[in-house]
Amino acid sequence: MSIVITDEMKGEYEQRGFLVVNNILDPDEVERYKRRASEIARGDIPKGGEKMLVRDVRVAKGDYTPADPEMGLWKMLQPDHFDPVFESFPENENLLDVVEGILGPDLKCFLTMMIYKPPMLGDVHHPYHQDKMYFNFGPADLIMGTWIALDRTTARNGTMVFIPGSHRDDVPHEHDARERQNFGIFQAKGYEAGHPDEVVVELDPGAGVFFHSRLLHRTGPNITEGHRRVLTMHCASTKCTMDGTLLGQMKMRLVRGQEYAGCI
């Protein structure tokens, strides 16, 4: 059964910059993705995926050696491009119904990730940032991030935290130069964890949060002993236009509707 985005839901997204929708993935889909990710993490890596598994910097530098290699991952990049189980994820009907209900019918996926939060590492913070700063195309209102929980996500294991309404303006960023920070992390200037307006969004497995490309968001550490795994997809209207060079890890893939001349 398709998901219908009502005017009230769209208004909430436009006002706050994000929308939570339950039951994007069913329990069987959640388990299938978790099972396949574990197999890949433990060495069953398809051709093309050899360089797409990224360990957390603390694991890479030998600060921490987990018994299970999956517990040491930071992310798996573009799994739909190298693994047949993940290939269909960006075309999930529930996922695209929500995105279409907000961005319109013509959509491209340009980045998918399986994102981990290694357990029991108390300093693994991803600071406040706007995703749009990484994307050399626009407008920002036609670009969205989707974050689908495979495990229950909570304040204790590094769930998503937003500042509602922060999607209306660009915010200056600077490189996060902490010694044990993962590669390529930037932070919004003037915004710290504990911001008075922040909202913690906890999700059950299969639920998703859909958020504007300029919405300020962060995740904290996973201080539990278990996984915090999420599948993400970043997508854009095919009416967006380029204003720079697409980052190398991003790949445009038409997932619904049509393309337009002179656009992405």
| Token pair listed for 22 | 């339950």
User: Residue with structure tokens 């996984």?
Assistant: 227
Length of the chain: 264
Q: How many CB atoms lie within 10 A of CB 40?
A: 22
Query: What tens digit of pLDDT does each residue of 22-47 get?
Result: 999 999 999 999 999 999 999 999 99
What is the CATH code of the structural domain delimited by 7-256?
2.60.120.620
CA angle at residue 227 from 222 to 232, to 5 degrees? 90
Number of H helices, E strands in the chain: 4, 16
Overall average pLDDT of the 224-234 stretch: 96
Query: Dihedrals φ, ψ of 174, to 5°?
Result: -140, 155
Digit-coded pLDDT (tens) for 141-200: 999 999 999 999 999 999 999 999 999 999 999 887 776 777 778 899 999 888 999 999
Phi-psi region of 120 (alpha: psi -120 to 50; beta: other; left: phi over 0): left
123 compared with 29, residue with greater pLDDT? 29
Residue 1 has pLDDT above 70, yes or no: no
Tell me the per-residue pLDDT of 61-120, one tens digit each, with 9 for 90 and over. Answer: 888 888 899 999 999 999 999 999 999 999 999 999 999 999 999 999 999 999 999 887
pTM here is 0.95
Give the rounded percent of residues in the chain with a pLDDT score beyond 70: 99
Contacts of residue 119, Cβ cutoff 8 Å, sequence gap at least 6? 71, 157, 222, 223, 224, 225, 226, 227, 228
Residue 84 parent element (H or E): none
Domain positions in the chain:
7-256
Cα distance between residue 198 and residue 220, in whole Å: 13
